[in-house]
């Protein structure tokens, strides 16, 4: 279906999957080396995805 609700729902599901993947990546990186400087970058990318999810969920309510 190409209605707005379905497209929004698909976008939300995609973002939720990407967020979970990024969380797992961040956690695995932490387990390997808690002092890894890449953790800051990964965390910032995760924050960006979370902000996108929030915006998508709150758009055109």
pLDDT, one tens digit per residue, over 9-49 is: 888 999 999 999 999 999 999 999 999 999 999 999 999 99
Q: Tell me how far apart the alpha carbons of residues 6 and 52 are, in angstroms, rounded to a whole number.
A: 17
Q: Can you give the pTM of this predicted structure?
A: 0.81
pLDDT at residue 1, rounded to an integer: 44
List phi, psi (to 5°) of 42.
-60, -45
pLDDT at residue 60, rounded to an integer: 66
Q: Tell me how far apart the alpha carbons of residues 60 and 54 are, in angstroms, rounded to a whole number.
A: 12
Q: Tell me how far apart the alpha carbons of residues 33 and 12 are, in angstroms, rounded to a whole number.
A: 31
Q: Would you say residue 4 has pLDDT above 60? A: no
């Amino acid at each position: 279906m190409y209605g707005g609700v379905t497209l929004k729902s698909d976008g939300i599901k995609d973002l939720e999957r990407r967020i979970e993947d990024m969380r797992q990546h961040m956690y695995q990186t932490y387990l390997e080396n808690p002092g890894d400087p890449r953790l800051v970058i990964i965390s910032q990318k995760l924050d960006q995805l979370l902000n996108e999810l929030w915006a998508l969920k709150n758009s055109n309510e």
